[in-house]
């Protein structure tokens, strides 16, 4: 209970956008930009889970801003991250916040890459309280991270850069029966570190879509809020289409009802015990191919 209260207080203190702590309750009338292309930084140590980057909405700026993909220490052993996603429903774009749980739920069928290929997570798995990394999808230094394996990554969604589900040009996936159960099962919202990470993106002007033109200078970080640390990955500007600027009419959110009834029935997040994971300093990143947000590259 204390953990939940601390998270709520931190969110209010930092004025975190609504999308970070709950479902957006207004419809945004402009689509989020395409997912930028970027490489995954090296995992900083054992027990860290990859959380993909995403476009968040700033009501005060009337603009999207990029929250970098980053490695996050799991709140407790066994926890997996379900990424948030934008969904086009009721003539607007709604944000469905990500969460921690024992299984990965529905995230719009979007191909975020690095193990999140539209359904589930193939970047690693928990094994008797220890997280093991799939080197075919996760960038790890085996001198630092020893619990690894190699398994082919199956793309369950087309490798595109679309950043939302539904609508005339969004993803077409629908949640499976299993994913619907995960949606309403017990889970916890973003950690305090993740909330701080999003807040830092919000207060960094160069992360805004109107400034970066869809190619944010900080696309991925080795740890939360480490925007200037060694190993930070920029977007590949030459391969990123420029986002369409919003007109004044498009920048004004339109009130709308939350799109999913099951989200309202979702149990409140429960606190977790701290993960028994070993923290380690980031190492020099390996030479590798940069991959789109929806692509996978084996790491040798």
Please say if the pLDDT value at position 258 is more than 50.
Answer: no
Rounded Cα–Cα distance for residues 4 and 289 (Å): 40
Quick one: average pLDDT of 171-182?
A: 92
For residue 228, give every residue at least 6 positions away whose Cβ sits within 8 Å of its Cβ, in sequence order, or none: none
Quick one: average pLDDT of 48-66?
A: 97
Instruction: Give the H/E segment covering residue 12.
Output: helix 2-13
Q: Is residue 61 part of a domain?
A: yes
Rounded Cα–Cα distance for residues 267 and 101 (Å): 12
Q: Is residue 281 part of a domain?
A: no
Chain-wide mean pLDDT for the chain? 79
- The pLDDT value given to residue 169: 86
pLDDT tens-digit series, residues 130-170:
999 999 999 999 999 999 999 999 887 777 899 999 988 89
Full domain range(s) for residue 182: 2-264
φ, ψ for residue 194, nearest 5 deg:
-70, -40
Fill in the DSSP letter of residue 101.
E
**What residue spans of 134-260 are helical by DSSP H?**
177-184, 192-202, 209-212, 248-251
Q: Is residue 159 part of a domain?
A: yes
**What's the predicted TM-score (pTM) here?**
0.74
Please say if the pLDDT value at position 230 is more than 80.
Answer: yes
Q: Is residue 48 part of a domain?
A: yes
Say which residue, 145 or 264, is predicted with more confidence.
Answer: 145
- The pLDDT value given to residue 156: 76
Q: Is residue 231 part of a domain?
A: yes
Q: Is there a contact between 126 and 77 (Cβ–Cβ < 8 Å)?
A: yes
Q: Is residue 282 part of a domain?
A: no
For residue 198, give every residue at least 6 positions away whose Cβ sits within 8 Å of its Cβ, in sequence order, or none: 16, 17, 20, 56, 67, 190
Q: Where residue 293 falls among pLDDT bands split at 50, 70, 90?
A: low
Q: How many structural domains does the chain have?
A: 1
Quick one: average pLDDT of 265-290?
A: 40
Q: Is residue 8 part of a domain?
A: yes
Q: Is residue 286 part of a domain?
A: no
């Amino acid at each position: 209970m204390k953990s939940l209260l601390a998270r709520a207080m931190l969110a209010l203190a930092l004025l975190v956008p609504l999308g970070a702590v709950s479902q957006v309750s207004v419809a945004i009338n402009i689509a989020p930009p395409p997912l930028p292309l970027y490489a995954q930084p090296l995992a900083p140590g054992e027990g860290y889970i990859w959380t993909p980057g995403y476009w968040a909405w700033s009501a005060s700026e009337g603009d999207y801003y990029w929250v970098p993909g980053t490695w996050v220490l799991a709140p407790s052993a066994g926890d997996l991250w379900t990424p948030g996603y934008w969904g086009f429903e009721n003539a607007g774009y709604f944000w469905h916040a990500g969460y921690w749980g024992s299984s990965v739920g529905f995230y719009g069928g979007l191909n975020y890459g690095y193990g999140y290929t539209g359904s589930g997570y193939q970047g690693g798995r928990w094994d008797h309280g220890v997280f093991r990394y799939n080197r075919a999808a996760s960038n790890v230094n085996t001198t630092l991270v020893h619990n690894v394996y190699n398994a082919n990554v199956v793309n369950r969604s087309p490798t595109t850069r679309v950043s939302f589900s539904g609508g005339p040009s969004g993803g077409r996936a629908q949640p499976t029966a299993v994913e619907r159960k995960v949606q309403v099962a017990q889970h916890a919202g973003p950690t305090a570190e993740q909330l701080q990470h999003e807040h830092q993106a919000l207060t960094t002007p160069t992360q805004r879509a109107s400034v970066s033109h869809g190619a944010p200078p900080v696309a991925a970080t080795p740890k939360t809020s480490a925007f200037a640390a060694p190993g930070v990955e920029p977007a590949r500007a030459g391969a990123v289409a420029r986002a369409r600027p919003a007109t004044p009419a498009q920048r004004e959110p339109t009130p709308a009802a939350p799109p999913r009834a099951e989200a309202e029935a979702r149990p409140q997040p429960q606190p977790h015990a701290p993960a028994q994971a070993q923290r380690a300093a980031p190492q020099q990143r390996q030479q590798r191919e940069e991959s789109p947000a929806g692509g996978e590259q084996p790491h040798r």
